[in-house]
Amino acid sequence: MAKKYVYLFREGDRGMRNLLGGKGANLAEMTNIGLNVPFGFTLTTEVCREYYEGGETFPPGLWEQVAPAVADVEKAQQSILRADKKLEAEGKIVIGKGDGGDQFV
């Protein structure tokens, strides 16, 4: 099986700091505890190491993992945009987004 280079935020946690780096692990942890974090993914620290060890070329198989992650983020973002458009059609405008405290006018 190919090495996993890409982790969606929802797939990681703070215990994966060595693999995801500090920022990646913290974004994953914040996602898992329900904080309002934009959809996204992290490339592992192995990608960085292999990039530099390989003469500044990306490891084989990386882009085949990045493309589905980008598609996942786009799909998640589109669902948010559709929800906002529905509210707009109802004559409501979202003026704040956050931890469940959205306000509509």
Spans of all domains in the chain: 6-104
What are the tens digits of pLDDT across the range 47-93?
999 999 999 999 999 999 999 999 999 888 877 666 666 666 676 55
**pTM, to two decimals:** 0.74
The alpha carbon of 101 is separated from its chain's Cα centroid by a whole number of angstroms, namely 22
> Dihedrals φ, ψ of 13, to 5°?
-160, 175
**Confidence at residue 33, expressed as pLDDT on a 0 to 100 scale:** 95
What the block records as the tokens of 47 is 């990608």
Residue 100, classed as helix, strand or coil, is: coil
6-104 in CATH: which number? 3.30.1490.20
| CA-based R_g, the chain, Å | 17
